[in-house]
A and B are shown apart, each in its own frame.
Chain A
């Protein structure tokens, strides 16, 4: 019940295309859903996050779509660029721990071809 399932495992997108990564969760107590971006040899970096009171959040080319009834959320990268090539992790956190004990998805390796 604590798992966050992420798909696809890897993704190849042409420059200028839309990258879409999906995550699903079971625990209805989750109330914070961040996405992290990780480049090789670096630590994960917070990209964008959403709470379940909204269905969509957009920051630049990055958008989170959230479907509370389906317990799914996704990351859309518009106009994908080679510099976006990285591993992306979704995560979720329950509300009853007093801090954001993040449960991470397994990651999606994105390659944006020039």
Chain B
């Protein structure tokens, strides 16, 4: 299995632009998580999907952030408009049970 796939691996954009991060979970996993990692705040859970349905989005920082999971093999995290403080590494993780979480390689986002 290829593991969790994320794209792009690196994204540099200007403040105010829309950013879309993509994730393909491991086949057969029914739980998907989006995390953000920064030096200041560490690893933070943004949103959790179970069977493609958003279950907990309490970690989404504000309305500029939105996430979708249109099917079991694809999810997006969108930031519109982006701000410099959104610069971070964004991870997608999937799990067959919600217990063991398998992380993707991450997307390093830089907003200038």
Contacts and interface: CB of A to CB of B under 8 A. Distances in A.
A46 B102 contact: yes
B103 interface: yes
Interface residues of B, number: 21
Nearest to B6: A43
A42 B105 CA distance: 5
A49 B99 CA distance: 10
Contacts of A98: 55, 98
A42 B89 CA distance: 10
A101 B91 contact: no
Contacts of A36: 103
Interface string A42-82: 11111001000000000000000000000000000000000
A25 interface: no
A101 B56 contact: yes
Interface residues of A, number: 21
A58 to B, nearest CB: 18
A45 B3 CA distance: 11
Contacts of B105: 41-43
12 contacts: A36-B103, A42-B106, A43-B91, A43-B103, A45-B102, A46-B101, A98-B98, A99-B31, A99-B48, A100-B98, A100-B101, A105-B42
Interface of B: 4, 31, 42-43, 45, 48, 50, 55-56, 91, 93, 95, 98-106
